């Protein structure tokens, strides 16, 4: 008949069961303990069994169990590890010696002084939470907790001077630290905040001080505060000061645009007056995306930076385009295809079979439209497409050129006829005079 051996693995300090412990039987990996910290071994019952238990953070446990034993408790002892506590001055980062360091855990209390290197070394148990209490002359006391885990632990703590006082400056809107803020205490500059928005300075407790904080782009904050022994931090929230900006809007011809809408970061903020100007006095320092819109013009946007003092920002709006149809005919009102169309000197193309060319032109811009084609005299008209007329049209009439070849032939024929007529007259005159002379004889 076989034997069932129930193995229970426990922590020797408090007898709590340990799950996930590895059980070896006669040198072979046998099982992992369940959530109750147990594993069951069934064997023939003819021989004693060598049981070994291993668990991270504990010393190995080993025992030879008699062949007829049915219950076994393996009480594991936590490993002894090293905890090294290092203390440094928070301002200078130099070691703090002769500071009293006390550590405590369940049924454990121990205290030591730091050495010349600012260190105190303790023997501790694995998988324990220890409370660390620190006391040092001229420094603020400190208390913390550390989890030892399964390996040696090395921790460092910065001690604050008992006279040390920190001013933390934040942006009131974003809660982000404000670096470079100037802190004055009773009218004397104590320093400027670092990248974390912090200025640390020694200050005597039990007194009342006037704090003044200034920063570029922010309003001045002044406050009277009584500093007690319990005060270590003063948090100041400062708001950005209104700087303002002016926006000027013109068209392509540098004429001021009245009624142009100005958007800051997507929100309609103002409209220009008859001088093309809009004032925004409440703007605080920062970066803004400004867009200017007006009907009949192409919107323009760009980023501006507001800082220091109000500045002028100019926007030039191009005219919007309109469709312009150019119709070309002759005097007989017949369409003229393949005629070349120039607008303000730029070739826009040729007319189609219907004598039409459609092109894009800008609103409110004088247009000189010149049309030319072989066999016709060039013609020029002036047009201007006003805002709101998105589909304008213009008619151009071409006069046909005279046929010089035909004109020359006709002219030559006339000259020949005249010459013949003159010759006939001359011949006729001679014959008449000769007859008269014979009659006289």
Note the pLDDT tens digit of each residue in 113-127.
999 999 999 999 888
Tell me the three-class secondary structure of the chain, residue by residue. Answer: CCEEEEEEEEECCCCCECCCCEEEECCEEEEECCCCCEEEEEECCCCCEEEEEECCCECCEEEEECCCCCEEEEEECECEEEEEEEEEECCCCCECCCCEEEEEECCEEEEEECCCCCEEEEEEECCCEEEEEEECCCECCEEEEEECCCCCEEEEEEECECCEEEEEEEECCCCCECCCCEEEECCEEEEECCCCCEEEEECCCCEEEEEEEECCCECCEEEEEEECCCCCEEEEEECECECCEEEEEEECCCCECCCCEEEECCEEEEECCCCCEEEECCCECEEEEEEEECCCECCEEEEEEECCCCCEEEEEECECEEEEEEEEEECCCCECCCCEEEECCEEEEECCCCCEEEEEEECCCCEEEEEECCCEECEEEEECCCCCCCEEEEEEEEEECCCHHHHHHHHHHHHHHHHHHHHHHHHHHHHHHHHHHHHHC
The answer, yes or no, to whether residue 208 has pLDDT greater than 70, is yes
pLDDT (0 to 100) of residue 387 = 73
pLDDT (0 to 100) of residue 430 = 56
Instruction: Calculate what percentage of the chain has a pLDDT beyond 70.
Output: 94
Low-confidence winner among 63-72, 192-201, 407-416 (lowest mean pLDDT):
407-416
Does the pTM of the predicted model rise above 0.75? no
Taken in order 196, 161, 143, 147, is the CA torsion positive or negative? positive
In this prediction, residues 259-281 reach a mean pLDDT of 96
Question: Tens digit of pLDDT for each residue in 50-106?
Answer: 999 999 889 999 999 999 999 999 999 989 999 999 999 887 889 999 999 999 998
Domain 166-238, what architecture? Answer: Sandwich (2.60)
Query: Which position has the higher pLDDT, 307 or 74?
Result: 74
Q: Domain 321-400 carries which CATH code?
A: 2.60.40.1120
pLDDT (0 to 100) of residue 436 = 46
pLDDT (0 to 100) of residue 106 = 82
pLDDT (0 to 100) of residue 228 = 87
The answer, yes or no, to whether residue 305 has pLDDT greater than 50, is yes
Q: Which fold has domain 3-76?
A: Immunoglobulin-like (2.60.40)
Where in the chain are all domains bearing CATH 2.60.40.1120? 3-76, 80-159, 166-238, 245-317, 321-400
Confidence of residue 140 (pLDDT cuts 50, 70, 90): confident
Mean of per-residue pLDDT scores for the chain: 90
The answer, yes or no, to whether residue 362 has pLDDT greater than 90, is no
The answer, yes or no, to whether residue 437 has pLDDT greater than 50, is no
pLDDT (0 to 100) of residue 428 = 65
Q: Which of 168, 156, 181 is nearest to 84 (CA)?
A: 156
Domain 80-159, what architecture? Answer: Sandwich (2.60)
The answer, yes or no, to whether residue 429 has pLDDT greater than 70, is no
Query: Which position has the higher pLDDT, 50 or 240?
Result: 50
- The CATH number of domain 245-317 is 3.40.50.720: no
Phi, psi (degrees; rounded to nearest 5) at 423: -65, -45
The answer, yes or no, to whether residue 348 has pLDDT greater than 50, is yes
pLDDT (0 to 100) of residue 52 = 97
């Amino acid at each position: 008949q076989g034997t069932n051996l129930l193995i229970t693995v426990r922590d020797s300090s408090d007898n709590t069961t340990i799950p996930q412990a590895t059980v070896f039987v006669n040198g072979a990996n046998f099982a992992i303990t369940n959530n109750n910290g147990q594993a069951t071994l069934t064997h023939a019952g003819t021989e004693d069994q060598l049981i070994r238990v291993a668990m991270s953070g504990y010393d190995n446990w080993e025992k030879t169990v008699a062949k007829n034993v049915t219950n076994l408790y393996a009480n594991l002892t936590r490993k002894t590890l090293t905890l090294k506590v290092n203390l440094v001055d928070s301002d200078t980062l130099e070691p703090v010696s002769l500071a009293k360091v006390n550590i405590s855990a369940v049924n454990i209390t121990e205290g030591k002084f730091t050495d010349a290197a600012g260190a105190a070394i303790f023997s501790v148990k694995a998988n324990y939470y220890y409370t660390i209490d620190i006391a040092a002359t001229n420094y603020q006391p400190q208390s913390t907790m550390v989890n030892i885990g399964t390996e040696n632990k090395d921790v460092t703590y910065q001690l604050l001077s008992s006279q040390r006082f920190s001013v933390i400056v934040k942006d009131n809107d974003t809660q982000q630290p404000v670096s470079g803020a100037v802190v004055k205490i009773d009218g004397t500059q104590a320093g400027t905040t670092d990248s974390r928005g912090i200025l640390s300075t020694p200050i005597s407790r039990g007194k009342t001080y006037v704090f003044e904080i200034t920063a570029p782009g922010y309003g001045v904050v002044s406050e009277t505060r009584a500093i007690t022994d319990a005060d270590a931090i003063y948090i100041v929230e400062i708001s950005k000061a209104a700087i303002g900006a002016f926006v000027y809007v013109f068209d392509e011809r540098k004429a001021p645009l009245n009624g142009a809408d100005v958007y800051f970061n997507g929100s309609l903020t103002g409209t220009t007056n008859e001088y093309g100007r809009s004032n925004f006095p409440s703007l605080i320092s920062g970066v803004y995306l400004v867009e200017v819109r007006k009907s009949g013009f192409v919107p323009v946007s760009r980023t501006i930076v507001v800082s220091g003092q109000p500045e002028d920002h100019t926007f030039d709006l191009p005219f919007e385009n309109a469709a312009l149809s150019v119709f070309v005919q002759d005097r007989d009102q017949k369409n003229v295809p393949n005629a070349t169309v120039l607008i303000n000197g730029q070739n826009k193309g040729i007319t189609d079979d219907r004598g039409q060319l459609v092109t894009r032109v800008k609103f409110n811009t004088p247009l000189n439209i010149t049309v030319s084609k072989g066999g016709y005299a060039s013609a020029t008209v002036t047009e201007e497409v006003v805002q709101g007329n998105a589909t304008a049209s213009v008619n151009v009439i071409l006069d046909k050129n005279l046929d010089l070849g035909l004109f020359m032939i006709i002219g030559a024929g006339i000259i020949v006829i005249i010459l013949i007529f003159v010759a006939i007259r001359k011949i006729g005159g001679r014959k008449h005079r000769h007859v008269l002379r014979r009659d006289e004889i």
